[in-house]
Homo-oligomer: A and B are copies of this chain.
């Protein structure tokens, strides 16, 4: 019944359709885990879920849309983090959680595959922005805005730009693989963006 609230398009009193929908989502998540986006297809999800392709196309206009919803059945439990009000600690906690998700679970390669596929599929690209990146950023923006309000972080900075300078390296490494996602990466990225790279005596000259 929880799904009725999450999905207002589904009419009441049709539990059978709800469960088919859940089976399709579970099948989509399962197929992503097994085969990644490379081996993902509407046919495969139909086979795993027992739903017909016609039924699947009724709810999901494209393979990309179904893949992103399947992705969410895998990743949704781990979005929240508890904030302490210490900007450094809160950023490190949040970044560490994303790093662990990307490195220690199948989520990293699956998301990389989705972003790759999005280069060919503008609807998937929009869905990744609206359903993955933006909701995840709200927590980071909240941390930085609170730190700005408290006078700890410079007020002239755009928090989304700061988040790009913390998370951009992680996505770049995930997508291009030129350097590993190491244990110390979260602390290093946050420390560098907080304090900058200038030597302390050079700071005063160049800042």
Contacts and interface: CB of A to CB of B under 8 A. Distances in A.
A182 to B, nearest CB: 10
A37 B113 CA distance: 16
Contacts of A113: 119-120
Nearest to A37: B119
Interface string A99-110: 000000000000
A164 interface: yes
B117 A192 contact: no
Interface in A95-148: 112-113, 115-120, 125, 128-129, 133-134, 144
Contact of A161 (B87, B116, B152, B188): B188
Contacts of A87: 206
B129 A119 contact: no
Contact size range, A: 35 or more
A72 interface: no
Nearest to A205: B152
A192 B162 contact: yes
A139 to B, nearest CB: 15
Interface in A151-175: 151-155, 157-158, 160-162, 164-173, 175
Contacts of A168: 164-165, 167-172
A177 B172 CA distance: 14
Shortest 3 CB-CB distances between A and B: which pairs?
A: A168-B168, A116-B119, A196-B196
